[in-house]
Amino acid sequence: MGAPQERQQGGYERREGFGGQREFSEHRRGFPPQIRPHAAFAGVFTNGREIFTKNLVPGIKVYGEQLLKSGEVEYRKWNPYRSKLGAVITQNAKNVPIKADSKVLYLGAASGTTVSHVSDIAKDGIVYAVEFAPRVFRELIEMSRLRKNVIPILADANHPELYSGIIGKVDFVFQDIAQPNQTEIFIKNCKMFLQHGGQGILILKARSVDVTVAPQEIFRRSAGELSKGGLDVLETVDINRFEIDHASFFVKMR
């Protein structure tokens, strides 16, 4: 579901730079208070109604997002209609434990929209970005050229053994893959790569699992599968406001 364009512009003025690669906005009269650290999420910032990350590559945008200057710092506006992790944070999840030095496995990286924000947060860590589709993988590679903490991996997440030689143990696993066996894929990757006590988020698209079953029943079954797979479900966040029939499961490895 797309976001109304006027509302997404917020109270900022949009300015296009040479080649469309730079986009800066300055504070305007009537805009909410200054951007400040988010109370719950390390590396995430807010102005009271929108969320941002510090741009790891100043002056460069990834998916047409606004770049905003506040003093000497440049921020990237995080659009929850374009990023399910952004939606989870906007919906006031209790915690997304990605830190500056985290090692993150991202399954279903696509062209790198959300990966780029994770890269901003884990600026001193590593983001292993797994994607199966060659076309969008090319875009992911282009994005990663300027983001040295992103390692693109062209692989099928159904077979984590194929990239086990590249990835060691990680602190956090994030998955956004629209396959019938989404939960199984997530469990397999967590068992192989997530360190003891590590955490992760599964974005579950109910209609990709079974269109004949009510989404809430799909979510209930998936929670049971996660528990049987050795993952404690700490929190479930409904992101239906941004993505129809989607929920996120925040888990911890036993």
Please determine whether the domains at 5-78 and 84-253 fall in the same fold group of CATH. no
pLDDT at residue number 6: 36
Q: How far is CA 85 from CA 72, 161, 177, 216, 241, in A?
A: 27, 26, 13, 20, 13
**CATH 3.40.50.720 describes domain 5-78:** no
As given in the structure block, the two tokens for residue 166 are 């590249």
Angle in degrees, 0-180, between the axes of helices 134-144 and 113-121, rounded to the nearest 10: 30
**Judging by DSSP bridges, how do beta strands 51-54 and 45-46 pair with one another?**
antiparallel
Domain ranges of the chain: 5-78, 84-253
Q: Rounded distance, CA 141 to CA 192, Å?
A: 25
Topology of domain 84-253 in CATH is: Rossmann fold (3.40.50)
Distance from CA of residue 156 to its chain's centroid? 19
Predicted TM-score of the model (pTM): 0.85
Enclosing H/E stretch for 103: strand 103-107
As given in the structure block, the two tokens for residue 175 are 């998955």
pLDDT at residue number 33: 56
Q: Rounded distance, CA 166 to CA 193, Å?
A: 11
Spell out the per-residue pLDDT of the chain, length 254, in tens.
Answer: 444 333 333 333 333 332 333 333 444 444 445 899 998 899 999 998 999 999 999 999 999 999 999 888 999 999 999 999 999 999 988 878 999 999 999 999 999 999 999 999 999 999 999 999 999 999 999 999 999 999 999 999 999 999 999 999 999 999 999 999 999 999 999 999 999 999 999 999 988 998 888 888 999 999 999 999 999 999 999 999 999 899 999 999 98
pLDDT at residue number 18: 25
pLDDT at residue number 131: 98
Q: Are 90 and 80 in contact (CB under 8 A)?
A: yes
